[in-house]
């Protein structure tokens, strides 16, 4: 086979292109362009030249060609730039965001026999984990001997991160705000226990039974101390006990809530504690809600028990289920009980400054939002979570969420505000995520809420002063009547006359009130008659006009 080699040749070509020549022409414009031989300031010459050009045959054709470009330029001048900030010096009003929420994860009890979740607590390391205490509080039902509670990771709803195995059910489980490895818990036996997850799933220290609560310990809270080892607990036995994890056997201090005779410290006459609250920024101050609906604002620095529980609020008609101070406005606190929730101010002791209307379903808990000042959450027995925004509206919630069909038992918002853990009676925990409208403060929210709380506080103070004056007046009248009636030294006729005079004064007050009420009714009836007469005359006039 023969191969042939071909030499390939490359040819180079040069191409010369036509050079574009540019020339600058200048024209002096004064009401248009004019030739050199026309004096633009001479009106007669310019008018004659315009007539000559307008009579030209190419004038109309030239104008038709120039009109599209001229129209395009005119439209561009009139166009609006939608991205331009025309009012740069005016503050931009943010758009109203829609309030909504969604369920992120569901954490279910691994045991077959479902137990109620009694408490939730977020870990202090940015809330990546939360602890849940599981306890069957219905003693009529038989429960298993498995009293395990769990620590869950937020990102893993399938399996618990760790199981805590006590010898009896745990009612409350609280993370140490300074150490994510340490927890405290209240047990069914009334004891308190300390846990260290680095040392295993069993409690590292437990208080002695004889120095613990008489009833199940269902309230524990850490105290903002220098060592980070102090906490206090409460129970239905009416005792508050302060503890130190370095010496757990015996409490460091005990306070008995005896409202009748605080100095006696009689446990048998103590009122049960149903809610406990501690604000780290206040220090030695604490609050507790009682089973009779009273809220006590206590001071640990008081020298006597009476001084420690001096401030009292008649908050609810039933047990105080939830009690929490506003994270920003610490003078104001939220109470939840029976079918209502109320917002209180420490400056007004006789009445609350705001309250929600009565709910059809029993309330089981509530908490403030950790980030937005005016938002708080309420959970109900029908499985619904209501979100209230005190600034937007006070008569109805801004958002109502049907979380599940079972009764909700506990609510704990995340410290960053966007998440909230909600537990139910069947051992499930729902992680809810809220929109920015419910978690982020607007620019003027703090000022608006401050003005609103101050206004409501002043209003309640005025009402309290009027009620106090009225009670004092009635008490004075009653005392005068009784003293005159029981004065033995006075004659019977004089006592009867004084009694008749006091009774006559009371009757005069009653008659005056009745007369004022009757005058208001008559004035309203007269106004209605006048309105009806005017409407009737208008109708008659309209009918006459139509007939004519």
Q: How far, in Å, CA of 488 to CA of 490, rounded?
A: 5
Are 431 and 106 a contacting pair, CB within 8 Å? yes
User: Residue 140 carries which DSSP code?
Assistant: T
pLDDT of 479 reads 75
Closest CA to 481 of 504, 510, 461: 504
Among the listed residues 315, 311, 369, the one whose alpha carbon sits nearest the alpha carbon of residue 337 = 315
C-alpha span between 408 and 336 (Å, rounded): 14
What burial class does residue 20 get, using C-beta atoms within 10 Å of its C-beta: 0-12 exposed, 13-18 middle, 19+ buried? exposed
Q: What is the pLDDT tens value at each position of the chain, 548 positions in all?
A: 444 444 444 445 566 777 778 777 765 555 667 787 888 788 888 888 888 888 888 888 888 888 888 888 888 777 777 777 766 676 666 666 778 889 899 999 888 888 889 999 999 988 789 999 998 876 655 556 778 999 999 999 899 999 998 888 899 999 998 888 999 999 999 999 999 999 988 889 999 999 999 899 989 999 988 888 899 999 998 899 999 988 888 899 898 888 888 777 788 888 889 999 988 888 788 889 999 899 998 888 888 888 888 888 888 888 999 999 998 888 999 999 888 999 988 888 888 888 888 888 889 999 999 888 889 999 999 999 999 998 888 888 999 999 998 999 999 999 888 899 999 998 899 999 998 888 888 888 889 889 988 998 888 888 888 888 888 888 887 776 655 544 444 444 544 454 455 566 667 778 888 888 888 888 888 888 888 888 888 777 777 767 76
Asked whether the beta carbons of 119 and 174 are under 8 A apart, the reply is yes
350 to 176, 205, 421: CA distances (angstroms): 35, 43, 34
Angstrom distances, CA of residue 256 to CA of 196, 261, 279, 309: 30, 10, 21, 10
Query: Under DSSP, is residue 306 helix (H, G, I), strand (E, B) or coil?
Result: helix
Which positions ≥6 away from 383 have C-beta within 8 Å?
402, 403, 404, 405, 406, 407, 408, 424
Q: What is the pTM of this model?
A: 0.68
Q: Report the b/e string of 184-202 with b at 16+ CB within 10 A.
A: bbbbbbbbbbbbbbeeeee
Do the strands 179-187 and 170-176 form a parallel or antiparallel pair, or are they unpaired?
A: antiparallel
**Integer Cα distance of 6 and 3 in angstroms:** 10
Whether the CB-CB separation of 184 and 220 falls below 8 Å is answered with: yes
Q: Which residue has the tokens 């109470």?
A: 335
Q: What are phi and psi of 421, to 5 degrees?
A: -100, 130
In whole angstroms, how far apart are CA 446 and each of 314, 326, 397? 28, 12, 20
Domains of the chain: 101-461 (2.130.10.10)
């Amino acid at each position: 086979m023969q191969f042939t080699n071909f030499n390939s040749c490359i040819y180079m070509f040069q191409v010369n292109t036509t050079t574009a020549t540019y020339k600058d022409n200048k024209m002096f414009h004064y009401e248009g362009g004019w030739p050199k031989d026309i004096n633009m300031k001479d009106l007669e010459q310019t008018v004659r030249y315009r007539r000559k050009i307008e009579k030209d045959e190419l004038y109309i054709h030239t104008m038709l060609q120039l009109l599209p470009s001229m129209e395009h330029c005119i439209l561009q001048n009139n166009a609006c730039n939608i991205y331009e900030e025309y009012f740069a010096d005016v503050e931009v009003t943010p758009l109203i965001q829609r309030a909504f929420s969604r369920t992120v994860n569901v954490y279910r009890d691994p045991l077959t026999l479902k137990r109620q979740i009694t408490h939730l607590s977020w870990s202090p390391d940015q809330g990546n984990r939360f602890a849940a205490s599981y306890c069957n509080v219905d003693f009529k039902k038989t429960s298993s001997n498995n009293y395990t509670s769990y620590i869950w990771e937020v990102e893993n709803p399938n399996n618990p991160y760790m199981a805590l195995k006590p010898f009896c059910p745990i009612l409350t489980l609280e993370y140490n705000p300074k150490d994510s490895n340490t927890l405290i818990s209240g047990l069914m036996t009334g004891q308190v226990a300390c846990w260290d997850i680095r040392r295993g799933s069993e409690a590292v220290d437990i208080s002695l039974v004889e120095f613990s609560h008489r009833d199940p310990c269902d309230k524990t809270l850490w105290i903002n101390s220098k060592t980070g080892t102090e906490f206090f607990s409460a129970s239905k036995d009416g005792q508050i006990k302060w503890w130190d994890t370095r010496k757990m056997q015996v409490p460091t201090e005990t306070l008995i809530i005896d409202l009748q005779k605080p100095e006696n410290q009689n446990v048998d006459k103590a009122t049960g504690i149903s809610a406990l609250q501690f604000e780290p920024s206040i220090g030695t101050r604490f609050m507790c809600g009682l089973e009779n609906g009273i809220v006590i604002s206590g001071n640990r620095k008081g020298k006597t028990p009476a001084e420690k529980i001096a401030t009292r609020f008649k908050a609810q008609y039933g047990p105080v289920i939830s009690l929490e101070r506003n994270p920003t406005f610490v003078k104001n606190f939220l109470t939840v009980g029976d079918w209502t929730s109320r917002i209180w101010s420490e400056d007004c002791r006789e009445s609350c400054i705001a309250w929600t209307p009565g709910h059809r379903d029993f309330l089981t808990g509530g908490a403030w939002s950790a980030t937005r000042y005016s938002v708080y959450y309420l959970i109900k027995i029908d499985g619904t979570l209501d979100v209230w925004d005190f600034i937007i509206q006070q008569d109805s919630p801004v958002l109502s969420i049907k979380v599940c069909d079972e009764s909700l038992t506990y609510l704990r918002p995340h410290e960053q505000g966007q998440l909230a853990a909600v537990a139910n009676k069947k051992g499930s925990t729902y992680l809810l995520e809220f929109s920015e409208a419910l978690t982020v403060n607007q620019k003027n929210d703090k000022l608006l809420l401050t003005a609103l709380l101050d206004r409501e506080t002043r209003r309640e103070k005025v009402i309290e002063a009027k009620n106090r004056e009225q009670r004092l007046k009635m008490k004075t009248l009653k005392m005068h009547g009784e003293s005159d009636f029981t004065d033995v030294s006075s004659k019977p006729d004089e006592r009867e006359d004084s009694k008749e005079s006091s009774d006559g004064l009371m009757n005069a007050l009653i008659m005056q009130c009745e007369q004022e009420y009757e005058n208001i009714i008559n004035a309203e009836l007269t106004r209605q008659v006048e309105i009806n007469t005017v409407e009737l005359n208008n109708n008659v006039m309209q009918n006459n006009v139509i007939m004519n």
